Amino acid sequence: MPHSLKGLDYVRINIHFFALSARSQTLAPLVVPLLVQQFVGEDIKGATYGTIRLWALLAGLLAQAFFGMISDRTRSRWGRRRIYIAAGTILEGIVLLGMGMLAGIQGREGVSLLLTLYVLSMVASNASNVATLSFIPDLVPEEHRGLASGVKVWFEVPLPLLFVALVTGRLIAQGQMMTALIVLVGCMLVCMMITMTVPEEPWVADESRAFWKPLARLVGMTAVFAGVILGAGAGVKALLSLIQGPGSASRFIAGGGIGLAAMALSVGAGVWLGLRVALGGAFHSDGNHSFTWWVINRLAWLTASNNIGGFLLFYFQEKFPQWRGEHAAAPVAGVLFIAGIFTLSTALIGGWLADHMAKKPLVVWSSLLGALGTAGVILAPAPGWVYASGGMFGAAVGLFYAASWALGTRLVSPARTGALLGLSNLAGAGAGAVGAYLGGPIADQFGYTLLLAILGALFLLSNLALSQVREPGASISQPQH
């Protein structure tokens, strides 16, 4: 910081996460699924939703890595980051208002329009997202990054969840989707204006390195990652076609095994091959080894958590017949509200713990809580039990976001903060792409209960990748958790 760090600075550098997360928590679990259902009906809504999420999130993946690299090199009196936050937010607001106009369209032509707008939305939001991500490593001393990450979690998870549950979710449940999006855009603009007061100093970038080489690597990384997911998706569809027929326990188990194996393969191979292309010869350095496994751990964890939220509306419609169409938005908003309350209770605690103890055990505990919360949602005999399980899930999210991000900011080089954190969006954007594209066809054939079980198991599998991450400063002989 250009001056001593104050409490208000923690707010200013993190408040734009509220806008970004309120936007994603409104679009992914509510607006996009409802529009997809409106356009294609019941039979293929899972696969269609997954396809739209895949291409939109891949666009976001490339955009965040691209703008992270660009912002590292930006020379501006505004600093390196704020100009991208302003431009991305303004473009995003225009796109969201256009998306609200789709509510009156019927038929499959709406799918193409929705995909186009969602892709533009992802490009705009990720331009501002990677700039906001860079504030903590840019401006916060290392000894305070756990606390800063805890504040980030408040703005990134619980407060947006409460906003969606109490405001945009209720409006959508009442059939007022356009009004909900107008309120959301207003909120985003307010957060942007506060963020523009961040005391970021002018930066003279190093222009000695060629620009086209890292750009080509970013495109190659995205193409490789997309190829892995598309290949896994083709394999899933081919294998599912072989086990079609009357329902049975063995068929159900086979479907679950196919889905879990495809997601695990996509997570591991997608990140490993993608970062190998993006980092070039630096991929094999000791620091990037831990960074790679950290991204794999985040991708597995976020694939589980993001897609449980993304498919929750369809799950409610399947499990509880009293909720159909927009009416399912109300219970989904209720679960988000409970999850937000519990995330509030663990976010700052997790950030404080991350400043005073090893971070990896905290991430392990978050995965166990996430798996237990998912099991509670699946086994719930009534909606009230789903709400209770949402509390456990929210506690897991708060703990994970604080501890994992505090760990990740210690693994990146200060000279390449934006670029490396942009690459880490393989986990952020890739989570929705992997889970939705591979999970949609499985849900269409076997139902959303099986899909949630697969995602719950993925929480536990994420710890295999975490065991390969070594925290900076930790002893080599330290047990791996």
Mean pLDDT of 68-94: 83
Tell me the pLDDT tens digit for each residue of 85-104. Answer: 999 999 999 999 999 998 77
- Interior/surface letters 245-264, b for 16+ CB within 10 angstroms, e for the rest: eeeeeeebebbbebbbebbb
Taking the C-alpha atoms of residue 448 and residue 220, their distance in angstroms, rounded to an integer, is 34
**Tens-place pLDDT, residues 403-433:** 887 888 777 666 565 566 666 767 777 888 8
- Give pLDDT tens digits for 293-311: 999 999 999 999 989 988 9
- Residues β-bridged to residue 76: 203
**Angle subtended by helix axes 145-156 and 383-409, to nearest 10:** 150
Q: How much is the mean pLDDT over the chain?
A: 84
Which residue is associated with the tokens 């200060």?
A: 414
What domains does the chain contain, in order, with CATH numbers? 7-197+211-466 (1.20.1250.20)
pLDDT tens for each residue of 433-443:
899 999 999 99
Residues near 469 by Cβ (< 8 Å), separated by ≥ 6? 290, 293, 294, 297, 360, 407, 411
CB atoms within 10 A of CB 32: 23
Q: State the Cα–Cα distance between residues 177 and 31, nearest whole angstrom.
A: 8
Binned at pLDDT 50, 70 and 90, residue 480 comes out as very low
Q: Whose CA is closest to 177, among 88, 96, 90, 122? A: 96
For residue 476, pLDDT beyond 50: no
Residue 460 CA to its chain's centroid (Å) = 18
User: What is the C-alpha separation between 332 and 29, in angstroms, rounded?
Assistant: 8
Global pTM value: 0.79
pLDDT at 381: 82
